[in-house]
């Protein structure tokens, strides 16, 4: 069996009653770290978890493992590394950041 790795995922969610997003938000982007054997499993586990939390996942972008991100030139700070380590230790999905989307004001 392949060992667990931690994958970085950016998940866009839409609105759903009870989702906990701020009033007026159209949706949000969630930065997640997911422990899994491969990226497909990481995506499935993350989407399932977000649906259980009454969120409405619309799109998932995968950024790979720590090693893949470093090879691509991403700068990864200590806080982000600690969250990745926590996801690995707990065999979990960690939602590290939630950035709500709002309608752009009329120009």
- Of 47, 54, 53, 55, nearest to 7 by C-alpha is 47
Q: Among the listed ranges 46-50, 80-84, 99-103, which one has the minimum average pLDDT value?
A: 99-103
Residue 43 has pLDDT above 50, yes or no: yes
- 93-102 and 5-14 as β-strands: parallel, antiparallel, unpaired? unpaired
Burial class (CB in 10 A: 0-12, 13-18, 19+), 92: middle
Residue 42 has pLDDT above 60, yes or no: yes
Q: How confident is the model at residue 1 (pLDDT cuts 50, 70, 90)?
A: very low
Residue 66 has pLDDT above 70, yes or no: yes
| Torsion, Cα of 97, 48, 65, 14 (10° steps) | -40
Rg value, the chain, Cα: 15
Residue 73 has pLDDT above 80, yes or no: yes
Strand order in the sheet with 5-14: 56-65, 5-14, 25-36, 93-102
Q: How confident is the model at residue 107 (pLDDT cuts 50, 70, 90)?
A: low
């Amino acid at each position: 069996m392949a060992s667990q790795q931690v994958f970085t995922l950016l998940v866009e969610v839409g609105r759903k009653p009870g989702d906990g997003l701020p009033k007026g938000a159209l949706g949000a982007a969630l930065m997640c770290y997911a422990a899994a054997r491969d990226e497909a499993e990481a995506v499935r586990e993350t989407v399932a978890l977000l649906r259980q939390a009454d969120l409405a996942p619309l799109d998932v972008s995968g950024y790979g493992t720590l090693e893949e991100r470093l090879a691509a030139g991403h700068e990864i700070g200590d806080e982000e590394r600690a969250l990745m380590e926590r996801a690995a230790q707990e065999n979990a999905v960690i939602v590290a950041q939630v950035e709500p989307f709002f309608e752009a004001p009329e120009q």
